[in-house]
Amino acid sequence: VNELYVDDPDKDSGGKIEVNLNISLPNLHCELVGLDIQDEMGRHEVGHIDNSMKIPLNNGDGCRFEGHFSINKVPGNFHVSTHSATAQPQNPDMTHVIHKLSFGDKLQVQNIHGAFNALEGADKLTSNPLASHDYILKIVPTVYEDMSGKQRYSYQYTVANKEYVAYSHTGRIIPAIWFRYDLSPITVKYTERRQPLYRFITSICAIIGGTFTVAGILDSCIFTASEAWKKIQLGKMQ
């Protein structure tokens, strides 16, 4: 059963959303890669390191960043950049592949195929190395309630993206990979329900009825063919 309503379903979260990010930058050294977080509540964090890991790629020439962090339930952004590096590289290469970007709990439920990891597999390896990337996210609260009444909270999201080389009056702006997000006021709720007995009985009756109908059609066809064959044989005898 699916339904939509306007509310914050996870009021016990303290106004936070958990984020899981896994991204590879095959042409940027790990010591240059960092995560920055900012939002409309005044948060501005450069070089977030808690619950994060950087794994060297391509003999140290590249980096895979894996991070688990929280954001406030207000519009904002988090971005992968070189802003926290001690010395800025001359030409940082922001080509990348996104392996995972998800929000909230992971839902492993059959028959629910939402956009919980919409950017999985996003490949920007052939993009301009000096380009910034903007991913514009609309985050949709999602609730799953099982038959026991237990609820789990997750978030789906839609995404639009663009890439560009930005300039200011002082020259080219350092590129970054931006994830700009806003929250939808609409919540999607999935409720697990056991199939009522009358539906099961109706389905069985439909199957039985369909079987008899098909059998009747086949019997009629066989009878008609048999009668036609008999007439042909009688015609030959005459």
The structure's pTM equals 0.77
Which tens digit of pLDDT belongs to each residue from 135-191? 999 999 998 888 787 888 899 999 999 999 988 888 889 999 999 999 999 898 888
Would you kindly state where each structural domain of the chain is located, as residue ranges? Answer: 2-191, 195-238
pLDDT score for 190: 82
Which tens digit of pLDDT belongs to each residue from 124-136? 999 999 999 999 9
Residue among 37, 46, 27 at smallest CA distance from 71:
37
Name which residue leads in pLDDT, 207 or 123. Answer: 123
How big is the chain, counted in residues? Answer: 238
Find out whether 186 and 158 touch, Cβ atoms under 8 Å: no
